Amino acid sequence: MEDVHHQFGGDNLNNSGKKDSDMMSKPYPTQPDLPHSQYNPTPYQQPDYSQFDLVRATQYGIFDRCRELIEKEGVDVNTLDKENVSALHWAAINNRIRIAEYFVSKGATIDQKGGILNATPLHWAVRQGHLEMVVYLMKQGADPASLDIEGSCSCLHVAVQHSQMGVVAYLISKGMDVDQLDRNGMSPLMWAAYRCFGLELTRMLLTMNASVPLADKFHKNTALHWAVMSNNHNVIRALLRAGASMDALNAEGQSPYDLAKQKKSKWILMQMDLMAMDKGKGKPVFLQALTRDKVAQRYVQIGLPFFVLFGVGAILEFSSSWVMSLPLLCALGIITHYGLKLFMLNFYDNNTAVFGWTLATKAYLYHNIFTVHLHYVNTPIILASFFITTVGLYYCFYKSWKVDPGYLHTTSAEKHKTIIELVEKNSFNFNKFCSTCLLLKPIRSKHCSVCDRCVAKFDHHCPWVENCVGVGNHVYFFWYLFFLFLMILWYIYGGTVYYVKACGPYHEGVWNAVTQSVYCAPWVSWGYLNALFHVMWVGALLFSQCYQIFWLGMTTNERLNMTRYQHFMDNHGVAQTPFSRGLLGNIADFLNVSLCGLARPFHVDWYHQYDTNLTRSHKTV
């Protein structure tokens, strides 16, 4: 057998301009040849293990035969086969831990190089992603920085090229340089951008502080160049957000943007154009500094909804006919459009704009309440209900907006320690490990793609409060919805009373009543229309939250993704929640109150709860 350039790589350009695939021969077998019966319907016959040599016995995992060959027949454990490969190589690539341990105890050379690439057993184990074998060899002193000859790849480069995320995380946590270069000056991030079409590995390397502007030795390509060359759409955004330059020139004087145009990659060009606009490209020079300012952008994103809502109301109120209103509304739309274009919203995040609409809508409705409705709805009970609702609404809104929703905090040292412990205990599982935050995820937590943080007992990310909703603020968010729903109902009630007293009487049917009300009070009617729209989605969201929290004992995320979580599936494949304690128990748990002895809250530290054991145990309490 022969090694493959760049440790079994694909079509990669080397410094000679050739593709690695041009230098490729057949790859290593990771398992021994299958017996003839595998291809022939004749009955299977047990191989005669006594005839196996050391390599074949190692491939099949026949420990007794390996020991017999070494101890009774005197075979040297470091003997190389005809392909210049040691028995420890074959044990590593086939993940034969017990045999590898035996070979090492008999004096096997840990960093023996073999094959065309002169790779070590650790290279072979890394290539297959055998974490247990990688851990064992490194504990025995294997050098992960050792380079093969032909490809000059360290184990870290091999792991990245083959998307072995667990191995990558372990090697870097054990001290390997995240920016280690191979012979061609390629860093792990460059290989990930060029070769790995999933986002997780690139995102993990960025979290581990991989250098984004670094360029390779020969082509002078950055990671963004390599991503564009391979049309790796998945990592473009992550690299741009991390600060990758679209204007960096390679050895041929080409920028990533030039390469994207050359390859006619419309999606990549669109992302780059939006990023360029966000940085002020194409805007007047004297305004570029202002339009790039994030504080100014935030003010615009929040302020424009106020301008639109109050502008529409003013036009409807002060324009005597549609002949005048329509041109003014069109002008308002044009001004808004160019305002957005001038202060280009960050194309990765429009949550601030949504948050602005929330504030603007509340401001418009409350303006009408204080200037119009309270003059017509002034009974003590109604006024008391209004002020109680208002205090509750703004208190819970502020808490939902500003309180830490349950972010999971950890230091860099703790991240590396966690990775090492998980890998060395053979319990590393990416379903339970966040590749971005580099931490073991507590049960019910989730990584929020908007906040780019893991949140304990994650419910959802809510742009209306510009925050995640999790264990830290879920109660406040629930009461925020409750008081918001009451406030909108109060507004609708107040508006209806106003129409009856100020615009009535109504005698000719519903449609005439509607048109009469609109012509009577366009400003108030614009707010009334907004209230009718918002009462529907707020009511639906409040009902959904009540059903999920109290009846199901679930979060929004869990309800939407139940089938993706193993702990929600029973032995028969039926989805069910392990967290529900029944209606009263769920109410007590969520509100943290005792229901007159009918149910008491059961406290769980969702920041550090990693399984369902505690939840199951409290069902019997």
* 3-state DSSP percent of the chain in helix, strand and coil, to 5: 55, 5, 40
Residue 469 sits at φ, ψ, to 5 deg, of -115, 115
What CA–CA distance (Å, rounded) separates 221 from 450? 30
Q: What are the residue ranges in the chain where pLDDT is below 70?
A: 1-45, 149-152, 278-292, 320, 343-350, 571-573, 614-621
> What's the confidence (pLDDT) of residue 429?
84
> What's the confidence (pLDDT) of residue 110?
95
> What's the confidence (pLDDT) of residue 378?
82
HSE at residue 11, side-chain half, CA atoms within 13 A, is 2
Q: Is the peptide bond between 505 and the residue preceding it cis, with omega within 30 degrees of 0?
A: yes
> What's the confidence (pLDDT) of residue 607?
95
Length of the chain equals 621
What CA–CA distance (Å, rounded) separates 169 from 205? 9
CB 579 within 8 A of CB 613: no
CB 113 within 8 A of CB 148: yes
What CA–CA distance (Å, rounded) separates 609 from 342? 47
Catalytic residue among 462, 468, 503, 596: 462
What CA–CA distance (Å, rounded) separates 613 from 618? 9
What CA–CA distance (Å, rounded) separates 480 from 397? 6
> What's the confidence (pLDDT) of residue 38?
43
**How many other β-carbons are positioned within 10 Å of the β-carbon of residue 202?**
28
What CA–CA distance (Å, rounded) separates 256 from 268? 10
Question: Quick one: which of 401, 391, 392 has its CA closest to 354?
Answer: 401
Residue 174 sits at φ, ψ, to 5 deg, of -85, 0
> What's the confidence (pLDDT) of residue 340?
74
> What's the confidence (pLDDT) of residue 614?
62
Note the pLDDT tens digit of each residue in 344-399: 554 445 678 889 999 999 999 999 999 999 999 988 899 999 999 999 999 999 99
Burial grade of 272 (CB within 10 A; 0-12, 13-18, 19 or more) = buried
- What is the value of pTM for the model shown? 0.83
> What's the confidence (pLDDT) of residue 17?
37
DSSP codes of every residue in 520-577: H-HHHHHHHHHHHHHHHHHHHHHHHHHIIIIII---HHHHHSGGG-GGGB-TTS-B--
Active site residue 462: yes
> What's the confidence (pLDDT) of residue 149?
64
Which residues, in sequence order, are CB contacts of 478 under 8 Å at separation 6+?
545, 549, 590
Query: What amino acid occupies position 281?
Result: K
